[in-house]
């Protein structure tokens, strides 16, 4: 990868990196298309990163279909599929981790304490291996993108971090590799996430600015599904992910939801520019 990246640099070709854990869907492919617009060479990495899964999480059963992924990426005319081996990324004597502080400690960081440390470490390794001009992440994982932006700034990677919009199924469910875990009833129940966010959007356009009221409303929609169990609802400032009491004009926010549908943990969010 280093040799390839060096040769691209010599030819003044810009690399766009799309990091993924595979089992690709239209959400991932939208990032690939964005990378194409912004760079000369598109590198998609596929690595199911063990360090971002807690021991009780779904590493072993995380869905995988490399042959299908290869076919989809060939269709998109991706230049490089980078699939490093876990033993090469983390050899037996591996000792170095990247840990972003404040912004990585709340919400996802609080529910999944070791998660972001694993994410930033592997993304740091991928940045060093690929040395891209830009890297594309999905708003689907809005906090992850903000954490990586912070890491990129603090560690002076100098990579352009791009955040691309959430791609949804026709009925509104945000696409996710984990949706495959949902049974028929859960798939229906999973719609409460996008429904709650859509309702918030409606209330916001009709003048609601009190975040407590918005959160109350979201909570009642989420808990209306038989198989749902709420993890968190948060309304935060776009940059630092600090929670916002009031929405003021001229500022941007995320409304974020994490909840369990049966045994599957789903996340979704909307971006709000006041």
Q: Is 204 in the site for ligand AMP (CB under 6 A)?
A: no
In the list 21, 151, 247, 270, the residue contacting ligand AMP (rule: CB under 6 A) is 21
Residues assigned a catalytic role:
28
Q: Any contact of residue 137 with ligand AMP (CB under 6 A)?
A: yes
Q: Which of 174, 190, 196, 256 binds ligand AMP (CB under 6 A)?
A: 174
Q: Which is nearer to ligand AMP, 24 or 235 (CB)?
A: 24
Q: Does 112 bind ligand AMP (CB under 6 A)?
A: no
Does residue number 143 form part of the binding site for ligand AMP (CB under 6 A)?
no
Q: Binding of ligand AMP at residue 167 (CB under 6 A)?
A: yes
Nearer to ligand AMP, 172 or 262 (CB): 172
Site stretch for ligand AMP (CB under 6 A), options 72-80, 84-92, 102-110, 132-140 = 132-140
- Under the binding rule (CB under 6 A), the answer on residue 20 touching ligand AMP is yes
Q: What long-range pairs does 171-174 form, CB within 8 A, spacing at least 24?
A: 172/198, 174/27, 174/140, 174/266, 174/267, 174/268
| 271 contacts 139 by C-beta, under 8 angstroms | yes
Q: Considering the rule CB under 6 A, would residue 141 count as an interface residue with ligand AMP?
A: yes
Write a three-state SS string for the chain.
CHHHHHHHHHCCCCEEEEEECCCCCHHHHHHHHHHHHHCCEEEEEECCCHHHCCCCCCCCCCCCCHHHHHHHHHHCCCCEEECCCHHHHCCCCCCCCCCCCHHHHCCHHHHCCCHHHHHHHHHHHHHHHHCCCEEEEEHHHHHHHHHHHHHHHHCCCCCEEEEECCCECCCCCECCHHHHHCCHHHHHHCHHHHHHHHHHHHHHHCCCCEHHHHHHHHHHHHCCCCCEEEEEEEEEECCCCCECCECCCCCEEEEEEEEEECCEEEEEEEEEEC
Binding test (CB under 6 A) with ligand AMP, winner from 115, 131, 140, 195: 140
Q: Which is nearer to ligand AMP, 223 or 265 (CB)?
A: 265
Only segment of 69-77, 159-167, 223-231, 253-261 that touches ligand AMP (CB under 6 A): 159-167
Q: Which CB sits closer to ligand AMP, 143 or 211? A: 143
CB of 166 to ligand AMP, least distance (A): 4
Compute and round to an integer the Cα radius of gyration of the chain. Answer: 19
Stretch touching ligand AMP by CB under 6 A, among 1-9, 22-30, 76-84, 198-206: 22-30
Q: How many residues bind ligand AMP (CB under 6 A)?
A: 17
Judged by beta carbon, residue 31 or residue 103, the one nearer ligand AMP is 31
Residue ranges in contact with ligand AMP by CB under 6 A: 20-21, 27-28, 30-31, 137-138, 140-141, 164, 166-167, 174-177
């Amino acid at each position: 990868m280093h040799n390839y990246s060096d040769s691209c640099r010599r030819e003044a070709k810009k690399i766009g990196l799309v990091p993924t854990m595979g089992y690709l869907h239209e959400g991932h492919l939208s990032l690939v298309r964005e990378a194409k617009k912004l760079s000369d060479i598109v590198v998609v990495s596929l690595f199911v990163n063990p360090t971002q899964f807690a021991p009780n999480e779904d590493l072993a059963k995380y869905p995988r279909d490399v042959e299908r992924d290869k076919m989809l990426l060939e269709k998109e005319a991706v230049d490089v599929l980078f699939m490093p081996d876990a033993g090469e990324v983390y050899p037996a004597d591996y000792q170095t981790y990247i840990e972003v502080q404040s912004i990585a400690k709340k919400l996802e960081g609080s529910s999944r304490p070791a998660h972001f440390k694993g994410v930033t470490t592997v993304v740091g390794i991928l940045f060093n291996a690929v040395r891209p001009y830009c890297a594309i992440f999905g708003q689907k994982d809005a906090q992850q993108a903000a954490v990586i932006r912070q890491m990129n700034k603090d560690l002076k990677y100098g990579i352009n971090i791009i955040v691309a919009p959430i791609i949804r199924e026709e009925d509104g469910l945000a696409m996710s590799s984990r949706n495959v875990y949902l049974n028929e009833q859960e798939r229906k129940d999973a719609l409460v996430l996008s429904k709650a966010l859509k309702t918030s959007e409606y209330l916001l356009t009709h003048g609601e600015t009190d975040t407590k009221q918005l959160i109350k409303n979201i909570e009642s929609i989420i808990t209306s599904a038989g198989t749902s169990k709420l993890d968190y609802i948060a309304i935060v400032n776009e940059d630092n992910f600090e929670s916002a009491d009031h929405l003021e004009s001229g500022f941007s926010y995320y409304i974020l939801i994490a909840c369990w549908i049966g045994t599957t943990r789903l996340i979704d969010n909307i971006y709000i520019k006041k």
